[in-house]
Amino acid sequence: MIADKAQTIDKIKVALDEIRPFLKSDGGDISFIDLEDDGTVKVELHGACIGCSVNQMTLKSGVEMTIKKHAPEVSRVLEIGMIKEA
């Protein structure tokens, strides 16, 4: 359970702003979609990130790691495109 959801969302957005330049340099981008009560963050990848063969590695090793550095209360990060496919 997230104690202060608004504060956590602010931290998530700071984390995404930190990683965004790396994604943009490869022709991609990322958007924050939602923070669920269980600490799951939903994001959406854009541009070149959508079809990239390493997007799940980027999501786990780059995006999730950066978000958890800023907001350790986050439990996991999911990309909504992957949720739709599941």
The lowest-confidence range among 1-5, 25-29, 55-59, 77-81 is 55-59
Check: CB of residue 52 under 8 Å from CB of residue 61: no
The CATH superfamily label for domain 5-85 reads Fe-S cluster assembly (FSCA) (3.30.300.130)
Check: CB of residue 23 under 8 Å from CB of residue 50: no
Residue 25 has pLDDT above 60, yes or no: yes
Check: CB of residue 6 under 8 Å from CB of residue 25: no
Task: In whole angstroms, give the CA distance from residue 42 to residue 76.
Answer: 9
Residue 82 has pLDDT above 70, yes or no: no
The pLDDT tens digits for 52-73 are 777 777 778 889 999 999 999 9
Count CB atoms within 10 A of the CB of residue 53. 6
Task: In whole angstroms, give the CA distance from residue 38 to residue 51.
Answer: 28
Q: In what helix (H) or strand (E) does residue 82 lie, and over which residues does it extend?
A: helix 80-85
The domains of the chain are located at 5-85
